[in-house]
Copies of this chain bind each other. A is one copy, B any other.
């Protein structure tokens, strides 16, 4: 429950998140796992210069502490029938502030939505979406605009999306 469900939760600070500083080995492990989440434990251990058993314990610790949030395959949207990507800026009604969680929950459940950025400034959300085509995109934008909390949207087509994955060296 990110948004909190009672006053105590809403007003409490973010969880401590165990911010023990990471050492060089941890950073090397992360770099390798970001570049290739399926490296074997043995290969990873050798790459960073520690024993496999140590490597296993380190990676498990990173996962448990929340430093590593998960491992995901990166799928080409076009290959699964969603070739048209867009960034949709959403501005909410000024009286919708106490229903932010509701709208957030809604958009994150839309299958077209790949990223939800909750931003400061004139707009409240940036939604990175992937759709089947202009018709599907138009429908999606219409649905968003029809929501009672939405004051307006601006849609920009995305020609290309790059996610630079730093080489394990850095």
Which of A50-58, A90-98, A135-143, A154-162 contacts its partner? A154-162
User: A66: CB under 8 A from chain B?
Assistant: yes
Q: Which residue on chain B has the smallest CB distance to residue A71?
A: B37
* Dominant SS among interface residues on chain A: mixed
Partner of A71, one of B72, B120, B123: B72
Which residues of chain B are near A132, meaning CB under 8 Å? none
Binding site for B on A (CB under 8 A): 2, 17, 19, 21-22, 27, 30, 33-38, 65-76, 78-81, 87, 104, 108-109, 111, 113-121, 123, 126, 128, 156-166, 170
Which residues on B sit within 8 Å (CB–CB) of A27? 80
Bound together, the chains give a CA A37 to CA B162 distance in angstroms of: 20
